Amino acid sequence: MSVRRPLLLASVVLSAGCASSPPVDPVPQSPPQPETATAPRPVGKVAKVPGTKGGVRTDRRGARATPDAPGPTIYKRNGMVYVTGSWLIFGPRTPPAVPLPQSTMPAPNASSKGGPPGPPPMADGSADAPRAPGRSAADHGAGGAARAAGGPPGQTVARELAGVPDLPVAWEFHGGNGIHHTDVWVDAFWMDRTEVTRADYSRFVEDSGYRPPHVSETWAQDGWNWNGSTPPAGTEDHPVVLVSWYDAREYCAWAGKRLPTEAEWQLAALGPWGQSFDYPWGDTYANTHLNHGQMAPPNFDDSDGYLTTAPVGRFPSGESPFGALDMFGNAWEYTADMRVDTWSLMSTTDAPTTAHPAGKRQVRAPEPGLYVAVRGGSYFFDLRPNPGGERHRFLTEIRRKTSGFRCARTESPTDAKEAK
């Protein structure tokens, strides 16, 4: 952040300081509300939201397509986007044998006054003003609408689960591994708007003395290997690849961030409960919205303009509901989670609470494991057959020319280490 806008920077710091002084809201997913009061007036442009017409998503699933639910507000700050807390449902497209109990879907942020608040808009030009200053419970889609109307939330959940086309989030499996259907709560967090670039990673290598991306296999010698901390010429704004999961974790730690959990990744990519899509931009596949490959060998495909990686953010039409770019395609993205095939193996250690009666929050697959869950697909395959999120597993130690990542952060990034 810059000397170009000293006054605005000062106001940001001030508001961040105010945010930490009041008693901490015990609900962890609650965004930094106090900042709103002291934030400067937004002067940034309103974020463009793909797949919308007049602020309304045009390709929402019919059952939840209510004209007054414009979708999540996009907040950006320091290269990150804000992702509100929400329920997610993982699992195949088959209804569960047993409906969820009535109490498993509380109203997210129901305890906060005035609907789910977001972080304040930033006025330093690096952030855009929110499209909607506040949202009602109805913004959560059918479930939210039912709650707003006083309907029993449990029935809403059961209906959505039973109705095949209404599953908020579902995926087909790469490799045919089945998992159990489950729902989880994801607390609010911040996510890098784009994949980590090679320029970013170069700074990390130079600053930390960490190992540069390099693989001593013949296939990596053709334009992939770095020369010390220098990436292949002309690819500085491409996503860094040839990194292992451990490399990705080291970068995120250096940047004052962490890898997103798999649930966080999916929420950021496909949207919140009741509003989620099969693809980041909507429910209809579009070859122009991502850097993809093709199913048949050689799998590479330059019909999108890029045979392999593309500069990050080159496909703004593929923006996710929260504003993240390239969530599908370009490079596979590491998550923090080990790859397990049954979600019941994942840690759900949080005890049930009033806010989270199911007790399932921020699920994590246990370490150690040989494989880590990666999401989003890459330039190397056609992603059309995997609505709901391409999902695969990578060995934690291996460096591939499709393996990239982006980082997440629980706290607001205003005080993050300046990594970009």
Chain residues in the site for another protein (CB under 8 A): 175, 205, 208-212, 214-217, 225-226, 228, 246, 250, 367-370, 392-398, 400
* Number of Cβ within a 10 Å radius of residue 252: 24
Q: Which two tokens stand for residue 362?
A: 């921020």
Query: How far is it, in rounded angstroms, from Cα 144 to Cα 136?
Result: 8
Shortest approach of another protein to residue 218 CB, angstroms? 9
Smaller CB separation from another protein, 190 or 226: 226
The CA-based dihedral angle spanning residues 307, 308, 314, 315, taken in that order and rounded to the nearest 10 degrees = 80
CA 89 to chain centre: 15
Q: How many CA atoms lie within 13 A of 78 on its CB side?
A: 23
Shortest approach of another protein to residue 275 CB, angstroms? 32
Which phi and psi angles does 183 have, rounded to 5°?
-125, 145
Shortest approach of another protein to residue 385 CB, angstroms? 17
Smaller CB separation from another protein, 83 or 372: 372
* Number of Cβ within a 10 Å radius of residue 41: 7
Smaller CB separation from another protein, 23 or 209: 209
Q: Which two tokens stand for residue 352?
A: 């049930």
Shortest approach of another protein to residue 381 CB, angstroms? 13
Smaller CB separation from another protein, 5 or 211: 211
Q: Can you say whether residue 146 is alpha, beta or left, with left for phi > 0 and alpha for psi between -120 and 50 degrees?
A: alpha
Shortest approach of another protein to residue 196 CB, angstroms? 18
Smaller CB separation from another protein, 397 or 418: 397
Axis crossing angle, helix 198-208 with helix 245-254, rounded to the nearest 10: 80
Single-letter amino acid, residue 44: G
Pairing of strands 76-77, 80-83: antiparallel
**Is the Cα torsion angle 394, 399, 404, 406 positive or negative in sign?**
positive
Which phi and psi angles does 186 have, rounded to 5°?
-115, 125
Smaller CB separation from another protein, 65 or 395: 395
**Contact call for residues 394 and 14 (beta carbons, < 8 A):** no
Shortest approach of another protein to residue 294 CB, angstroms? 18
Shortest approach of another protein to residue 88 CB, angstroms? 25
Smaller CB separation from another protein, 217 or 302: 217
Shortest approach of another protein to residue 207 CB, angstroms? 11
**Contact call for residues 408 and 337 (beta carbons, < 8 A):** no
**Block residue for tokens 């109203």:** 107
Q: Which two tokens stand for residue 234?
A: 């002309």
Query: How far is it, in rounded angstroms, from Cα 13 to Cα 29?
Result: 22
Smaller CB separation from another protein, 225 or 266: 225
Smaller CB separation from another protein, 34 or 369: 369
Q: What is the DSSP letter of 227?
A: B
Smaller CB separation from another protein, 289 or 391: 391
Shortest approach of another protein to residue 227 CB, angstroms? 8
Shortest approach of another protein to residue 270 CB, angstroms? 23
3-state secondary structure of 264: helix
